[in-house]
Copies of this chain bind each other. A is one copy, B any other.
Amino acid sequence: MNIKALEKTALSIRALSMDAIQKANSGHPGICLGAAELGAVLYGEILRHDPSTPKWADRDRFILSAGHGSMFLYSLLYLAGYPGISMEDIKTFRQIGSHAAGHPEYGLIPGIEATTGPLGQGFAMSVGMAIAETMLAARFNTGKRKIIDHYTYVLAGDGCLMEGVSSEASSLAGHLGLGKLIVFYDYNKITIDGSTDLAFTEDTAKRYEAYGWQVLKGSMYDFEGIARLVAEAKADKERPCIIILTSIIGKGSPNKQGTADSHGAPLGAEELAAAKDALGIPEDFYVAPEAAAYFKGKQAEWKEARESWKAEFKAWSEENPEKRAEWDLFHAGKAVPARNPAFAVGDKLATRSAGNKALAAVAAANQNLVGGSADLKGPNAVGFAGGVYSAADRKGRYIHFGIREFAMAAISNGIQLHGGLRAFCSTFMVFGDYLRPALRLSALMKQPVIYVLTHDSIYVGEDGPTHQPVEHLASFRAMPGLRVLRPGDAEETAEAWSMAMERLEGPTVLGFTRQNLTVYPKDDPDWKNTIRTGAYVVKKAEGGKPDIVIIATGSEVGLSLEAAAKTGKKVQVVSMISRELFESQPAAIREALIPQGVRVICCEAGVKTGWERWAKPEDIFSLERFGDSGPANKVAEALGFTAAALAALIER
């Protein structure tokens, strides 16, 4: 181990970070300075990666869960020679157009494995990546050759460890025995407010032992010690490992190190000068020649490792053509069309149940689809043939996430980010709130995770308002990049699953009912295509131009058909499976379904928010309150949400 080079690398991380943050007049020097030694040894000696091919499928993953330390990551990506990040980017840190954004943004440049910053989620995503590694290894490795065999490393701070999502993910990671997950805990005892003694005095080591983790301790400033600890972590193949590295936040800043002052603001010109002086940094945006030379020297070694893998992969491909074909399918970046289950007009079943049939078809056609539920396998109806994933069976595709919705979604993001697999997860729609921060990251990272959210309205019934979503559809639709699909019967449900699988540019929420719905006839003979615009005409008005168009979603399509039949009006009923998708269509498509000048009624068992675009407030048949506890139809009656009331509105 070239200690001198590593020291100079750490120095360069400090130099680049301090200067970039100072120049941006914004950023978080604390962890960049405090964990610089780890960065050096991690990128120089520990990670099995090749910056010349950053997407190498079997690379080690590194996730900076403490995403505010973005300059830590950018410095290392720059020093290690990753494409996409230049000195100019670093000099324009946190400016529009720079690849060195405020927090690491997945997709902006290679080497950023996940968007981090919202604390705890990077940690949880890393658990997903480690799960994905075991799944792919089990599926593709042979006795002779290991095509997938990498580690997942994380750098987490006090904030990550305080967040509940990391607790959930850690408990599950321990349970699953993810031995190739290695978390470095930057144990500096400082947060924004000051000492962790203010709020965080638990025995974290003991907590991780309780989760079934291997717990190791060392110093952030001992290169060889860190390498030894990593070796020790690797030697324990059955437990994830947390390496608690005692550190000094802002190390190198003579007057601010060890204090909250160094956490989240530039050092200031004076302190910066003092730090440079103390550290012996001769110039702005300094890269020590020894560090540059060290990483230059590493390129061949890294390339060789990857070439060696490539040769192995080639040999494996030749020996296992079927596995190779499946590998290609897994990595093709698109879904295999499934043969949708068939339903008949008049069939009565909940869309969650129809969804289960569709899932069976989709999962059979797409062997790389994996996922599960937060302890609601039956209620969510998301069981499928494919075995249960566990420490004992890495080939299983169904994941028992436990009652941990937030970690479930973050882990799903991690599985999806890993590559090779398609992830879905499931809970009651009302608990979509529990996982919302991870859903937002799916959208922000454009990850096509599928969220199966059942029990999608007051028709949940007896469980009452805590379990009845009313504002959730509206709140989901407000999120940029998220697609919400709420099918109205079993046939639409099958299409919804297909649409979710087809969508690769972001996450999809599938909103399914608990209650039975009747499959209705569809006047649009081409509805399976039209529905991909977000809406189609289920029922044309008798005798031409309608008096009224009802836009309904999900279970309210059936309600609208029922109400329309009660009136003498010429009513056209539109099933709008996705409002945001429909709203993105050209005017001609929109107006074909909803002619201008015709009275529009919107009908959805939830708040009116967003429907104001389509109807006057008094023509929105909605629910502006929390639900009630009782049998589903009794709840609807109590809230005045009935076909009769809708018919009266139509007649008004």
Chain A residues proximal to chain B, CB less than 8 Å: 24, 26-27, 67, 94-98, 101-103, 105, 115-119, 158-159, 162-168, 171-172, 174-175, 191-193, 198-207, 209-212, 264, 373, 375-379, 388, 400-407, 430-431, 433-434, 436-437, 440-441, 443-444, 461-467, 470-471, 474-475, 477-481, 607, 609-614, 617, 624-626, 628-631, 634-635, 637-638
Contacts and interface: CB of A to CB of B under 8 A. Distances in A.
Nearest to A623: B480
A119 B373 CA distance: 15
A198 B172 CA distance: 10
A18 to B, nearest CB: 16
Number of copies of this kind of chain in the complex: 2
A105 to B, nearest CB: 7
Contacts of A98: 629-630
Contacts of A480: 470-471, 607, 624-626
Given A207-B210, A464-B102, A375 B96 contact: no
Given A193-B400, A480-B624, A480-B626, 19 more contacts: A26-B631, A94-B629, A103-B466, A105-B629, A158-B403, A162-B403, A164-B168, A167-B167, A199-B401, A199-B402, A199-B404, A202-B211, A203-B211, A207-B210, A433-B437, A470-B480, A474-B474, A478-B609, A613-B617
Contacts of A378: 192-193
A210 B163 CA distance: 16
A212 B378 CA distance: 37
10 contacts: A26-B631, A105-B629, A164-B166, A164-B404, A164-B406, A202-B210, A475-B478, A475-B479, A478-B609, A480-B624
Nearest to A373: B193
Contact of A609 (B377, B441, B610): B610
Contacts of A626: 443-444, 480-481
Given A480-B624, A612-B613, A630 B94 contact: yes
Contact of A629 (B96, B158, B407): B96
Contact of A464 (B105, B264, B463): B105
Nearest to A205: B210
Contacts of A27: 462
Given A206-B210, A437-B434, A629-B103, A26 B95 contact: no
Contacts of A377: 192-193
B172 A199 contact: yes
Given A164-B164, A192-B375, A481-B626, A444 B466 contact: yes
Contacts of A463: 26, 102-103, 117
Given A198-B400, A433-B437, A433-B440, A162 B171 contact: yes
